[in-house]
Chains A and B, each alone.
Chain A
């Protein structure tokens, strides 16, 4: 059997240093108390209404709770320092790449990435060519998915540079843990995360157009039936800014206004949680009822900042993922601190050959897919599923990438039969504006089904509080 790294226990079964204090507490706390606290957590999450709408399950607009597990994921201080440095470097390079592909395209001229892979990609927005954005920042909020495998090395699984979600769960999970188990927080120094909304607001203000001294920032949502609506409302409230939908805004003379009870008021920065396609029916999808006519023209004129920028999809596309280490070398002149998962490029015939022969060992992902949809997990798939996927790959190889199945690290988790190891990942949120900032940790997602590697909340994953130890 393949070795699996466990966050709490070493290969010899001993408790790791970072988990010592927690393990002591767990041992000395009665199962009844823990069971009671777990019920309390369920009730509280339900009452607060921290729900997640799931597409396609039924038509009741189902709101479901994302399961919350009380065993924290604990990261040692020295590990986090390394991760943080790696994240800074990576996000810096990704922003530089985005600026480059929409301006001089030096990375193509230097022959580091084939022109066709960038310019021919559906995520490349020609409309953004030559458009200047404040501070040359495109991915103001980045969610970088990390996994741990092998002997505990961290790998970047994917970059989310469009509208990454989940930060509200990070904040609510922490609030819940402090409410249920305050004693744990007095036992050791755990880095705080509660100031994330302040960092976010500062970050958004720092990229306002026209050097506006008191910019009006808003959060834009597709509406209350969006699966992440809870988070949109939560962030607006935490930052103390308005939550708007398309119909709340209008554009006049390339300037964006919101409709208020006291007449129109100018908007400077829009933290939009709506896809590029739906932003402006005049510029993108004509049938979008969610957007604001004229918004893109105002944006191009530099009268409003969109966060994230239009066109960031080119940098987080799975086809571009394998080039990120090269971007870091090219723009930062450094070696990547965080590794990529080795990735097969199926547009290359020899990679394709290898992948087709090893489908049962590999994970195959659709380049434009997200949320765990449209992927094949070889070891968990049936013969039929593999056969069907093989046909899809042969039909359109460039639509897919393939990676080895990583033995993702596990963390002890409460399941029906007691505490058992379950696979986890980590999504830190990196903010780029005048500076790069982040809170220590991020959102830990856990695959609750035994042996499952799919942590997405749309596929039955849960979450855990994430602790970065301060010493």
Chain B
């Protein structure tokens, strides 16, 4: 496959997955903020910005952190490269560049999403339309993924799309799990209380894992189990272990003459998740662990770039 095609496919899937996860992250923030538990009512929204790494972008353009501002910045703001609007636009631009490599159904669905997105942007999102908007983003992302599965030949194009999806998802699940750390800091006294329970369950729901948690543990929600579920359980579709297992498998399938180092790094990370324990994670500190994980995901992205996408003039 052409390197530039693989690059576009990878970013097409990655951007759509990012749109979905941004919606999930905003959803959990929104739910947490509904429970006014601390003096600083905007804490969750500030946390959202630092987790997304968009603090500077935000401060350059908005004077203060308010729920409405952050919500606008992260959903409809076309000047924010990390907004849902920008992610969908980027997914569509990448798809447009490789229309020949995807099925017409895939293109039509994504183009449709983009046209709808523009319409929604023109209309704006009202307070009572927030949940509906997040649901819509998730549905469009599910649809794109479903059509990819249902219509695309499982060749290299398929593998690069999946690679983009799972790398992005691993990154986002780690960030969502970290939300709790940022939100909790100023109010450690709440641990174990009603607010704490509410926050963990909101977090689980945002990654569609609440029911899975109940089914798996049949017990109260504790931070260690949540971490175990979302980091180590390979049977949880959004966990770090599940994502890395998939990334590792895809890299092996794509292979190629220069994939040695990439393959080694994926294998290592995947083995650590497979054989790691939740106690080990907490010994290190969940926040520290997640930070290190994010750095390694970033490195993997770089390696994928040099291995498959960069032009070579040999």
**A interface residues (Cβ-Cβ under 8 A, vs B):** 46-49, 224, 230, 233-234, 236-237, 242-245, 247-248, 250, 258-264
Contacts and interface: CB of A to CB of B under 8 A. Distances in A.
Given A49-B111, A262-B257, A263-B257, A245 B96 contact: no
Given A247-B4, A248-B3, A261 B254 contact: yes
Interface string B301-314: 00000001001111
B311 A224 contact: no
Interface string B141-184: 00000000000000010001000000000000000000000000
Given A234-B100, A247-B4, 5 more contacts: A47-B112, A243-B5, A248-B3, A261-B3, A263-B257
A28 B20 CA distance: 49
A243 B100 contact: yes
Contacts of A242: 2, 5, 100
Interface string B1-13: 1111110000000
Contacts, number: 67
A236 B1 CA distance: 14
B107 interface: yes
B119 to A, nearest CB: 12
Interface of B: 1-6, 96-101, 104, 107-108, 111-112, 115, 156, 160, 254, 256-258, 308, 311-314
A233 B99 contact: yes
Contacts of B96: 49, 224
Given A49-B107, A49-B111, A260 B3 contact: yes
Contact of B108 (A47, A234, A244, A260): A47
A101 B256 CA distance: 47
A257 to B, nearest CB: 10
Closest 3 CB pairs of A and B: A237-B100, A236-B100, A233-B99
A245 B4 contact: yes
Contact of A261 (B1, B98, B104): B1
Contacts of B115: 46-47
A259 B2 contact: yes
Nearest to B311: A259
A230 B107 CA distance: 12
B108 to A, nearest CB: 5
A243 to B, nearest CB: 5
Nearest to B110: A49
Per DSSP, chain B at the interface is helix
20 contacts: A47-B108, A49-B108, A49-B111, A224-B96, A233-B98, A233-B99, A234-B99, A242-B2, A242-B5, A244-B2, A245-B4, A247-B311, A248-B4, A250-B313, A259-B311, A260-B1, A260-B2, A260-B3, A263-B258, A263-B312
Given A47-B108, A49-B107, A250-B313, A259 B3 contact: yes
Nearest to B255: A262
B84 to A, nearest CB: 21
A248 B156 CA distance: 17
Contacts of B6: 261
A236 B100 CA distance: 6
A250 to B, nearest CB: 7
A233 B1 CA distance: 15
Nearest to B112: A47
Contacts of A237: 99-101
Nearest to B107: A49
A258 B2 contact: yes
B111 A47 contact: yes
Contacts of A245: 4
Contacts of A243: 5, 98, 100
Nearest to A44: B108
Contact of B100 (A48, A233, A250, A261): A233
A224 B2 contact: no
Contact of A262 (B101, B104, B160, B256): B256
Nearest to A242: B2
Nearest to B6: A261
Contacts of B314: 264
Contacts of B254: 261
A234 B99 CA distance: 7
